[in-house]
Amino acid sequence: MQKFIGTGVALITPFKDDLSVDFNALEKLVNYNIENGTNYLVINGTTAESATISKQERQQIINAIVKVNANRVPLVLGIGGNNTMAVVEDIKNTDLSNIDGILSVAPYYSKPTQEGFYQHFKAIAQATQKPIILYNVPGRTAKNMDASTTIRLAKDFKNIVGVKEAGNNTQQYLELLRDKPADFLIISGDDDLALGVTLAGGSGVISVIGQAYPKAFSNMINCGLEGKNKEGYATHFKLMEIIDLIFAENNPAGIKTVLQELGICKNTVRLPLVSASKELENKIATFVARF
Protein backbone atom coordinates (compact mmCIF):
# COMPACT_ATOMS: atom_id res chain seq x y z
CA MET A 1 0.00 0.00 0.00
CA GLN A 2 2.69 2.45 -1.06
CA LYS A 3 -0.04 4.93 -2.06
CA PHE A 4 -0.84 5.60 1.62
CA ILE A 5 2.74 6.25 2.75
CA GLY A 6 3.75 9.85 3.43
CA THR A 7 1.48 12.80 4.08
CA GLY A 8 -2.25 12.48 3.77
CA VAL A 9 -4.50 15.34 4.79
CA ALA A 10 -7.98 15.23 6.27
CA LEU A 11 -9.62 17.87 4.10
CA ILE A 12 -11.99 20.37 5.65
CA THR A 13 -15.28 21.20 3.94
CA PRO A 14 -15.27 24.91 3.08
CA PHE A 15 -18.59 26.69 3.63
CA LYS A 16 -19.92 30.00 2.41
CA ASP A 17 -21.53 32.50 4.80
CA ASP A 18 -24.91 30.87 4.11
CA LEU A 19 -23.42 27.50 5.18
CA SER A 20 -23.61 25.98 1.70
CA VAL A 21 -20.53 24.13 0.43
CA ASP A 22 -17.99 26.46 -1.17
CA PHE A 23 -16.84 24.40 -4.14
CA ASN A 24 -14.51 27.12 -5.47
CA ALA A 25 -12.64 27.15 -2.17
CA LEU A 26 -12.57 23.36 -2.15
CA GLU A 27 -10.97 23.35 -5.60
CA LYS A 28 -8.40 25.88 -4.41
CA LEU A 29 -7.61 23.76 -1.33
CA VAL A 30 -7.18 20.55 -3.33
CA ASN A 31 -4.88 22.17 -5.89
CA TYR A 32 -2.87 23.91 -3.17
CA ASN A 33 -2.21 20.59 -1.45
CA ILE A 34 -1.39 18.56 -4.54
CA GLU A 35 0.92 21.24 -5.90
CA ASN A 36 2.80 21.46 -2.59
CA GLY A 37 3.61 17.84 -1.86
CA THR A 38 0.61 16.22 -0.18
CA ASN A 39 0.68 12.51 -1.08
CA TYR A 40 -3.03 11.65 -0.72
CA LEU A 41 -6.33 13.27 0.24
CA VAL A 42 -8.95 12.13 2.74
CA ILE A 43 -12.51 13.11 1.84
CA ASN A 44 -15.38 13.28 4.33
CA GLY A 45 -13.33 12.50 7.41
CA THR A 46 -14.41 13.89 10.76
CA THR A 47 -12.39 17.07 10.09
CA ALA A 48 -14.70 17.60 7.09
CA GLU A 49 -17.62 17.97 9.54
CA SER A 50 -19.02 14.78 8.04
CA ALA A 51 -21.69 14.56 10.74
CA THR A 52 -23.30 17.68 9.26
CA ILE A 53 -22.93 16.76 5.57
CA SER A 54 -25.97 15.34 3.77
CA LYS A 55 -25.62 12.35 1.45
CA GLN A 56 -26.31 14.58 -1.54
CA GLU A 57 -23.62 17.05 -0.46
CA ARG A 58 -21.16 14.22 0.17
CA GLN A 59 -21.57 12.93 -3.37
CA GLN A 60 -21.19 16.44 -4.77
CA ILE A 61 -18.00 16.90 -2.72
CA ILE A 62 -16.62 13.55 -3.92
CA ASN A 63 -17.40 14.43 -7.54
CA ALA A 64 -15.77 17.83 -7.22
CA ILE A 65 -12.58 16.48 -5.67
CA VAL A 66 -12.34 13.61 -8.18
CA LYS A 67 -12.62 16.13 -11.01
CA VAL A 68 -10.04 18.56 -9.61
CA ASN A 69 -7.66 15.79 -8.58
CA ALA A 70 -7.68 14.29 -12.09
CA ASN A 71 -5.93 11.14 -10.85
CA ARG A 72 -2.94 13.07 -9.54
CA VAL A 73 -2.96 11.61 -6.00
CA PRO A 74 -4.83 8.75 -4.28
CA LEU A 75 -8.18 9.51 -2.63
CA VAL A 76 -9.46 8.04 0.63
CA LEU A 77 -13.13 8.33 1.61
CA GLY A 78 -14.33 8.44 5.19
CA ILE A 79 -17.20 6.01 5.80
CA GLY A 80 -17.83 5.07 9.40
CA GLY A 81 -20.21 5.22 12.31
CA ASN A 82 -21.65 3.36 15.27
CA ASN A 83 -24.35 1.49 13.35
CA THR A 84 -22.45 -1.36 11.74
CA MET A 85 -25.27 -2.38 9.40
CA ALA A 86 -25.69 1.20 8.21
CA VAL A 87 -21.94 1.57 7.55
CA VAL A 88 -21.95 -1.67 5.54
CA GLU A 89 -24.94 -0.49 3.50
CA ASP A 90 -23.30 2.89 2.93
CA ILE A 91 -20.17 1.21 1.59
CA LYS A 92 -22.20 -1.06 -0.70
CA ASN A 93 -24.31 1.83 -2.01
CA THR A 94 -21.48 4.31 -2.62
CA ASP A 95 -19.72 4.55 -5.97
CA LEU A 96 -16.12 3.82 -5.03
CA SER A 97 -14.77 3.59 -8.57
CA ASN A 98 -12.62 6.71 -8.14
CA ILE A 99 -11.73 6.01 -4.50
CA ASP A 100 -8.49 4.25 -3.53
CA GLY A 101 -9.32 3.40 0.07
CA ILE A 102 -11.79 3.79 2.93
CA LEU A 103 -11.05 5.42 6.29
CA SER A 104 -13.47 4.06 8.87
CA VAL A 105 -13.68 5.57 12.34
CA ALA A 106 -14.13 3.32 15.37
CA PRO A 107 -17.73 3.25 16.64
CA TYR A 108 -18.41 6.31 18.76
CA TYR A 109 -20.65 6.69 21.82
CA SER A 110 -21.53 2.99 21.97
CA LYS A 111 -18.25 2.09 23.75
CA PRO A 112 -18.05 -1.50 22.43
CA THR A 113 -15.82 -4.19 23.93
CA GLN A 114 -12.67 -5.15 22.05
CA GLU A 115 -14.64 -8.04 20.53
CA GLY A 116 -17.25 -5.48 19.44
CA PHE A 117 -14.58 -3.44 17.67
CA TYR A 118 -13.34 -6.60 15.97
CA GLN A 119 -16.76 -7.72 14.78
CA HIS A 120 -17.62 -4.19 13.57
CA PHE A 121 -14.54 -3.94 11.38
CA LYS A 122 -14.84 -7.58 10.29
CA ALA A 123 -18.27 -6.76 8.84
CA ILE A 124 -16.84 -3.69 7.07
CA ALA A 125 -13.88 -5.61 5.67
CA GLN A 126 -16.20 -8.26 4.27
CA ALA A 127 -18.42 -5.63 2.63
CA THR A 128 -15.80 -4.37 0.16
CA GLN A 129 -12.57 -5.26 -1.60
CA LYS A 130 -11.28 -1.71 -1.21
CA PRO A 131 -8.34 -1.15 1.15
CA ILE A 132 -9.52 -0.10 4.61
CA ILE A 133 -7.67 2.14 7.05
CA LEU A 134 -9.00 1.81 10.58
CA TYR A 135 -9.33 5.04 12.58
CA ASN A 136 -8.83 4.90 16.33
CA VAL A 137 -9.56 8.22 18.04
CA PRO A 138 -10.62 7.49 21.64
CA GLY A 139 -10.73 11.14 22.62
CA ARG A 140 -13.75 11.51 20.35
CA THR A 141 -15.26 8.02 20.36
CA ALA A 142 -15.02 7.55 24.16
CA LYS A 143 -13.35 4.11 23.88
CA ASN A 144 -9.86 3.02 22.88
CA MET A 145 -9.36 0.21 20.42
CA ASP A 146 -6.43 -1.67 21.92
CA ALA A 147 -3.30 -2.34 19.89
CA SER A 148 -3.97 -6.08 20.16
CA THR A 149 -7.38 -5.65 18.50
CA THR A 150 -5.89 -3.63 15.66
CA ILE A 151 -3.16 -6.22 15.11
CA ARG A 152 -5.74 -9.03 15.18
CA LEU A 153 -7.72 -7.28 12.44
CA ALA A 154 -4.55 -6.63 10.45
CA LYS A 155 -3.66 -10.31 10.49
CA ASP A 156 -7.16 -11.60 9.74
CA PHE A 157 -8.21 -9.35 6.83
CA LYS A 158 -5.97 -8.60 3.87
CA ASN A 159 -7.89 -5.47 2.88
CA ILE A 160 -7.42 -3.90 6.31
CA VAL A 161 -4.14 -2.27 5.34
CA GLY A 162 -3.47 0.26 8.07
CA VAL A 163 -4.63 2.24 11.07
CA LYS A 164 -4.86 5.94 11.61
CA GLU A 165 -3.94 5.98 15.28
CA ALA A 166 -4.98 9.16 17.08
CA GLY A 167 -4.95 8.34 20.77
CA ASN A 168 -1.96 10.61 21.46
CA ASN A 169 -0.56 7.56 23.25
CA THR A 170 3.12 6.94 22.56
CA GLN A 171 3.08 3.53 24.25
CA GLN A 172 0.25 2.31 22.02
CA TYR A 173 2.06 3.55 18.91
CA LEU A 174 5.13 1.58 19.95
CA GLU A 175 3.09 -1.57 20.62
CA LEU A 176 1.56 -1.28 17.15
CA LEU A 177 4.94 -0.73 15.50
CA ARG A 178 6.43 -3.68 17.39
CA ASP A 179 3.64 -6.18 16.70
CA LYS A 180 2.26 -5.23 13.29
CA PRO A 181 2.55 -7.42 10.18
CA ALA A 182 5.40 -6.26 7.94
CA ASP A 183 3.24 -4.50 5.37
CA PHE A 184 0.64 -3.03 7.75
CA LEU A 185 0.65 0.79 7.91
CA ILE A 186 0.80 2.66 11.20
CA ILE A 187 -0.34 6.16 10.27
CA SER A 188 -0.22 8.95 12.82
CA GLY A 189 -3.44 10.84 13.40
CA ASP A 190 -1.72 13.11 15.91
CA ASP A 191 0.03 16.03 14.22
CA ASP A 192 2.20 16.64 17.27
CA LEU A 193 3.51 13.04 17.33
CA ALA A 194 3.64 12.42 13.58
CA LEU A 195 7.38 12.91 13.08
CA GLY A 196 8.37 10.74 16.04
CA VAL A 197 6.01 7.97 14.97
CA THR A 198 7.36 8.07 11.42
CA LEU A 199 10.97 7.98 12.63
CA ALA A 200 10.09 4.95 14.78
CA GLY A 201 8.85 3.04 11.73
CA GLY A 202 5.44 4.52 10.99
CA SER A 203 4.15 5.17 7.50
CA GLY A 204 3.46 8.89 7.86
CA VAL A 205 0.39 10.86 8.81
CA ILE A 206 -3.16 11.81 8.05
CA SER A 207 -2.87 15.41 9.11
CA VAL A 208 -5.06 18.40 9.87
CA ILE A 209 -2.42 21.15 9.87
CA GLY A 210 -0.77 19.61 6.81
CA GLN A 211 -3.46 21.03 4.52
CA ALA A 212 -2.46 24.56 5.53
CA TYR A 213 1.30 23.98 5.31
CA PRO A 214 1.60 21.05 2.89
CA LYS A 215 5.12 21.83 1.70
CA ALA A 216 6.60 22.14 5.18
CA PHE A 217 4.66 19.27 6.68
CA SER A 218 5.27 16.81 3.85
CA ASN A 219 8.97 17.70 3.87
CA MET A 220 9.02 16.97 7.61
CA ILE A 221 7.35 13.58 7.13
CA ASN A 222 9.70 12.74 4.27
CA CYS A 223 12.58 13.45 6.65
CA GLY A 224 10.99 11.00 9.08
CA LEU A 225 10.69 8.33 6.41
CA GLU A 226 14.35 8.86 5.50
CA GLY A 227 15.57 8.84 9.12
CA LYS A 228 16.67 12.48 9.01
CA ASN A 229 15.67 13.35 12.56
CA LYS A 230 17.53 16.67 12.91
CA GLU A 231 16.11 18.08 9.69
CA GLY A 232 12.65 16.80 10.53
CA TYR A 233 12.59 18.25 14.01
CA ALA A 234 13.80 21.61 12.73
CA THR A 235 10.46 21.86 10.88
CA HIS A 236 8.51 20.24 13.73
CA PHE A 237 9.68 22.92 16.15
CA LYS A 238 8.49 25.65 13.78
CA LEU A 239 5.02 24.08 13.57
CA MET A 240 4.53 23.17 17.24
CA GLU A 241 2.75 26.40 18.15
CA ILE A 242 0.21 26.31 15.32
CA ILE A 243 -0.54 22.63 15.93
CA ASP A 244 -1.47 23.51 19.51
CA LEU A 245 -3.51 26.53 18.39
CA ILE A 246 -5.68 24.74 15.85
CA PHE A 247 -6.87 22.28 18.48
CA ALA A 248 -7.25 24.83 21.29
CA GLU A 249 -11.04 25.14 20.88
CA ASN A 250 -12.50 22.71 18.39
CA ASN A 251 -11.61 21.05 15.12
CA PRO A 252 -11.98 22.24 12.37
CA ALA A 253 -12.61 25.81 13.57
CA GLY A 254 -8.89 26.25 14.19
CA ILE A 255 -7.62 24.93 10.88
CA LYS A 256 -10.32 26.84 9.00
CA THR A 257 -9.07 30.03 10.63
CA VAL A 258 -5.54 29.27 9.40
CA LEU A 259 -6.88 28.63 5.90
CA GLN A 260 -8.84 31.89 6.04
CA GLU A 261 -5.65 33.76 6.92
CA LEU A 262 -3.98 32.07 3.93
CA GLY A 263 -6.79 33.25 1.65
CA ILE A 264 -8.08 29.77 0.81
CA CYS A 265 -11.52 29.70 2.43
CA LYS A 266 -13.72 31.27 5.10
CA ASN A 267 -13.58 30.00 8.68
CA THR A 268 -17.31 29.18 8.69
CA VAL A 269 -18.40 25.99 10.46
CA ARG A 270 -21.78 24.34 10.96
CA LEU A 271 -23.47 23.95 14.33
CA PRO A 272 -22.95 22.54 16.88
CA LEU A 273 -19.45 23.87 16.18
CA VAL A 274 -18.81 27.60 16.28
CA SER A 275 -16.04 29.64 14.70
CA ALA A 276 -12.83 30.33 16.59
CA SER A 277 -12.97 33.01 19.26
CA LYS A 278 -11.47 36.41 18.49
CA GLU A 279 -8.66 35.68 20.92
CA LEU A 280 -7.72 32.47 19.13
CA GLU A 281 -8.20 34.07 15.72
CA ASN A 282 -5.71 36.79 16.66
CA LYS A 283 -3.14 34.26 17.86
CA ILE A 284 -3.48 32.26 14.66
CA ALA A 285 -3.24 35.40 12.52
CA THR A 286 -0.04 36.39 14.31
CA PHE A 287 1.52 32.98 13.66
CA VAL A 288 0.50 32.89 9.99
CA ALA A 289 1.88 36.38 9.40
CA ARG A 290 5.34 35.43 10.66
CA PHE A 291 5.65 31.83 9.39
179-220 pLDDT, tens digit per residue, is: 999 999 999 999 999 999 999 999 999 999 999 999 999 999
**What percent of the chain lies above the pLDDT cut of 90?**
100
Which residues in the chain come in under a pLDDT of 70? none
Paired residues of 164 in beta bridges: 135, 187
Which DSSP letter does residue 173 get?
H
pLDDT of residue 1: 72
pLDDT of residue 112: 98
pLDDT of residue 182: 96
pLDDT of residue 178: 98
Nearest to 103 by CA among 160, 147, 151, 143: 160
Contact 32, 38 (CB under 8 A): no
pLDDT of residue 43: 98
Rounded CA-CA distance 265/256 in Å is 7
Kindly list the catalytic residues. 135, 164
Rounded CA-CA distance 277/283 in Å is 10
Report which residue type is found at 244: D
